[in-house]
Amino acid sequence: MLCSLQSIMRIAGRMMLDAQNAAIHQKEGHFNFVTDTDVAVQEFLKKELSRLAPDAFFFSEEQENAALTDAPTFVIDPIDGTINFMRNRRQSAISIAYLVNKQPVLAAVYNPYANEMFIAEKDKGAFLNGKPIHVSDTPFEKCVTAFGTSPYDAELAKQTMTCALDFLLQGGDLRRTGSACVDLCDVACGRADIFFELRLRPWDVAAGSLIVQEAGGFYQSIGHAVPYYDNACGMVCGNQACKSDALRILKEHNIL
């Protein structure tokens, strides 16, 4: 399935690259948008993935979703980083995870701008364009922390920024890409050492969380004992060397 999945995602990536001036629509929440390309990519993915796994369900950003079950389910973000896509910032990705018993067993994230395909299979490692990847071993005092601002949930803004300030002052530096999928994969291949965001949706993290873990990193859903994909929640991930300090800062801000 993984090889076919990558082929499908590359075609979807070409749809993104070929899209020009796609119509933009306002969604519920602060600074929350969808384009016609998001919807077109999602419908293409659902059609093609149904051929791979006819009995699988779909849990996807641009549709009304039933509750997640233990049944085999594709969790899809057709364009993670829609604002980036709208503004041609070239930091957007397609994310697909295949879940069984509510946990990902296959994952792929594709950034067509960089032609980077990240994949992982449970207990079989993580790869970038076919080559094995691993999280960094950078210590916390030299870490690069990626973070998300949960822009759709404005009540989290102050807590996010004060927490990020501690990561900046106690660690190395901060990065904000505007795509959780990209950030997770950056951690997985050692470009960043920590990533946190106080509220994300399942399609933002389902694929990237498996990629990070299969690359030797840790992934934790805030408020849950195991990685959680049923609904929105916060998360933190990173390399093992930074884990204790990252969790300490989040606890100090009453996030964990």
Cβ–Cβ < 8 Å for 108, 11: no
Structural domain boundaries of the chain? 2-132, 140-252
Instruction: Please report, for residues 67, 73, 195, 199, 250, the alpha-carbon distance to residue 221 in angstroms, rounded to integers and kept in the order given.
Output: 18, 19, 12, 10, 12
3-state helix, strand, coil split of the chain in percent (to 5) is 35, 25, 35
| Banded model confidence at residue 114, pLDDT cuts 50, 70, 90 | very high
Beta bridge partners of 218: 238
Average pLDDT of the segment spanning 178-206: 98
* pLDDT at residue 136 in the model: 98
Q: For the whole model, what pTM was predicted?
A: 0.96
| Sequence-ordered strand ranges (E) for 29-150 | 33-35, 57-60, 73-80, 93-100, 103-111, 116-121, 126-128, 131-132, 144-147
* pLDDT at residue 187 in the model: 99
| Banded model confidence at residue 165, pLDDT cuts 50, 70, 90 | very high
Per CATH, 2-132 and 140-252 having the same topology is answered no
Which residue, among 81, 60, 57, 67, has the nearest Cα to 184 in the 3D structure?
Answer: 81
Q: Under CATH, to which class is 2-132 assigned? A: alpha beta
pLDDT over threshold 90, residue 256: no
How far is it, in rounded angstroms, from Cα 88 to Cα 83?
A: 8
Q: 140-252 — its CATH code?
A: 3.40.190.80
| Banded model confidence at residue 47, pLDDT cuts 50, 70, 90 | very high
Residues near 109 by beta carbon (within 8 Å), at least 6 away in sequence: 93, 94, 95, 96, 117, 118, 119, 181, 182, 184, 185, 207, 208, 211
The DSSP H or E segment spanning 175 is strand 173-175
- The values of phi and psi at residue 119, to 5°, are -135, 155
